[in-house]
C-alpha cells in the first residue's frame, strides 16, 4: 500500500442486479458484499460510499413500485454517475456488471484512480 496524507471518498462499485435475475436474496447478497468492502475502505482511513445509498431512497421517494421500472431506470445509474463526480477514486468489487464497467470508464475519463482490492488503497497517515 502507498501512503497518503489525506483520506479519499471512494465509490465502492459492484453489481446490484447483474447476475441475479432480480432475485431479492441475490440482490441483497450483492449489496452486503459492497457494504463489507465499504467497511474495509473505512477501516483503511477513507470514506466509502455506494451509489445505492443515494439512489434507492430517491427511487422509492419518486414512486418506483417495481425493480427496473421507468423511475428506477431513470435514477439508478444516473445517481451513481453524478455521485462519482464527488468521489476521489473507485473500488471495483464483485462479479460482472455493465453498470460498473460504465462507471469505471467514466472514472478513468475523469482521471480518477480505479482500484480492484482494498490493499491497493493508499494508507492514510494519522
Average pLDDT estimate for 85-106: 96
Residue 5, C-beta contacts closer than 8 angstroms, at least 6 positions apart = 124, 125
- CA dist 46 and 121 (Å) reads 9
- CA dist 12 and 88 (Å) reads 11
For 91, the grid coordinates are 473500488
For 37, the grid coordinates are 468492502
Please tell me the pTM assigned to this model: 0.93
Residue 36, C-beta contacts closer than 8 angstroms, at least 6 positions apart = none
The cell 459492484 sits on which residue?
Answer: 14
Could you report the per-residue pLDDT of 30-82, keeping only the tens digit for each?
A: 999 999 999 999 999 999 999 999 999 999 999 999 999 999 999 999 999 99
Q: Which helix (H) or strand (E) holds 26?
A: helix 24-43
Contact 72, 66 (CB under 8 A): yes
- CA dist 12 and 57 (Å) reads 18
User: Is it the case that residue 100 has pLDDT exceeding 90?
Assistant: yes
- CA dist 96 and 87 (Å) reads 22
Amino acid at each position: 500500500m502507498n501512503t497518503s496524507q489525506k483520506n479519499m471518498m471512494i465509490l465502492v462499485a459492484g453489481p446490484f442486479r447483474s447476475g441475479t435475475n432480480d432475485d431479492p436474496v441475490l440482490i441483497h447478497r450483492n449489496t452486503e458484499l459492497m457494504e463489507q468492502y465499504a467497511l474495509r475502505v473505512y477501516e483503511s482511513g477513507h470514506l466509502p460510499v455506494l451509489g445505492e445509498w443515494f439512489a434507492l431512497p430517491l427511487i422509492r421517494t419518486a414512486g418506483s413500485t417495481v425493480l427496473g421500472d421507468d423511475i428506477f431506470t431513470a435514477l439508478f445509474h444516473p445517481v451513481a454517475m453524478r455521485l462519482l463526480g464527488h468521489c476521489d477514486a473507485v473500488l471495483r468489487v464483485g462479479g460482472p456488471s455493465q453498470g460498473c464497467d460504465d462507471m469505471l470508464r467514466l472514472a478513468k475519463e475523469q482521471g480518477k484512480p480505479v482500484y480492484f482490492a482494498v490493499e491497493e488503497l493508499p494508507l492514510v497517515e494519522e
